[in-house]
Structure 1
Amino acid sequence: MPVSNNTEGRRALITGITGQDGSYLAELLLELGYEVFGVVRRASTERFERIDHLRDRVNLLHADLLDQSSLNRAFAEAAPVEVYNLAAQSFVPTSWSEPVLTAQFTGMGVTRVLEALRQTCPEARFYQASSSEMFGKVQESPQKESTPFYPRSPYGVAKVYGHWITVNYRESYDLYACSGILFNHESPRRGLEFVTRKITHTAARIKLGLASELRLGNLDARRDWGFAGDYVRAMWLMLQSDEPDDYVIATGETHSVRECCEVAFAHLGLDWQDFVKTDDKLLRPAEVEFLMGDYSKAKRQLKWEPEVSFNSLIEMMVDSDLASLTERRR
């Protein structure tokens, strides 16, 4: 990975720092010598598990994507040279039950972040977390930066808005603003509600005798799955380029939910077919059947490539879940 010699002392602001991507990105930026600020929502119960090991090295500021004035204050206090907008309502099934809230956080929230940037630190470089879910009912395969969007969920629709408002602010206000169209990226820090982590965690529980079955929806859905640690490196590289641009970040491979089950259970010496049951209640109202990204532009211009394979990723997650569950039983 190319590392700039001018990163020491830079100030970076991350919205969504307590999430999977935010925690990996914070680690990377700290390794590169940045002073890291993270935006968190004020809540009666704070959940900082993913960044507990970083709490004494990052500066946390309270702000909310629904409140413009709080964002302005946080940006003014941090005075960042780089801003990474990773905050969103990011679970696709929830976007069906809470479509308006998803639109506010995942769509309009991007506008508020961009406004805070424009009003307080317009020279800062901006990264927007776009999503492969914007492609939805895919119009071509593999999907690249020029592939038309056809979102199939309120989440995907909100992400399309966030993507285009970023392009609009870049072209209207001459901001350095990039969007990373990231395909599915996973890790041991992935939320338990997401299918890969649901599979690895439940497989580990079954291995330990803590569960007897795993219920899933569409086993034939295919995704381009990569490692979150690889993908945050791509985010950083985007903001080191001379000119802002948008990039697909993916592995160029596709795997089914069924394959994910096969790898996870086999790693534990189990046959997935003995434990996995399909449940129609877990099917999406409008399914996204197939996603696979073409990351050739990122490879060519950013010199970025994924490093962790699909099998290694799933096995990494299984090992982590097995270790944490075993530790809790002691």
Structure 2
Amino acid sequence: MVIRRDLVVVGASAGGVEALRDLVRGLPADFPAAVLAVLHMPPSARSQLPEILARASDLPVRPARHGDLIEPGTVTVAVPDRHLVVVGRRIALPRGPRENGHRPAVDVLFRSAARSAGPRAVGVVLSGALDDGTAGMVALRARGGVGIAQFPGDALYPSMPLHALEVGGAEHTAPVAEIPALLGRLLAEEVDVTGVEPASELMKTEVAMAELDGDAYDGEDRPGTPSGFGCPSCHGALFAIDEGGMQRYRCRVGHAWSPEALAEEQAQALEGALWMALRGLEERAALSLAMGRRAEERGHAHSALRFRARHREATDAAALLRRLLHRGELSAEALPDELGEG
């Protein structure tokens, strides 16, 4: 069986507004595919992205609405705090668990496009930090879709495109100004879909989790194997999933993490814990100082000496934490020298 591709899914993050604008600027008015785009955004802000893209595009640009048909020759943009999900030939906007701390998430869009469209879909990863979109690219290619990554040297933030190429296996890379012509060639190709694998149970389950489908949560099994790590979002157990040469993580309620995003979130959690520890040490130092002065006033020399020692220990430890936080060196390699200074 031979088909033609008719769905383009695009993901971007930091630096993505400029890249998306340049991409849609190059799409002709008779573009034969539907374009669905996710840009990571704060949950509470109203997105101006449809208006920004509409000013640059010859195609109609609209914010996503639940239940809308996916129409060729249109650009549909994700809205804040809702995943953009492909369900057959329509759009769904569930408020499912965040992936890599984001909702909407690039991986959710790509994975749902892989499930519903498979070889009819093209995935495009544009500028962004960390490795969002990589798991979605793996899923898309597993279903016969094709992947494009913005040429990293052309991206304001090259990490997402780099991971899409190196780990996700995207077949093509180009500066964003050249991607419209590349899409035109890919959409014009006739694609033999004989032998394309159906969506896996893992893929179906993960999309169902994004849709908050109760059946995906009620089963006894969870995707993956216990990893020994905790979920930064809900502190539940994370399960490791190996797919297409990439290991990633998902918890029981569906929060999902790629390796780079999980490491970054853990670093943020560690910094938060250090600030809490610093606060506790500063309070201990202040209390010890006050209690020591009171003991001296009452003539309790032994107690005053003990409180002065506690004050000195707390201030020394607080100084160490302040140096670590100031320098941002929270790795194990940085700790021995710092600890030795006290």
TM exceeds 0.5? Answer: no
TM range (shorter): 0.3 to 0.5
Q: Please, what TM-score do these two structures have when normalized by structure 1?
A: 0.33
Report which of the two structures shows the higher radius of gyration computed on alpha carbons: 2
- Which protein has greater RCO, CA pairs closer than 8 Å, 6+ apart? 1
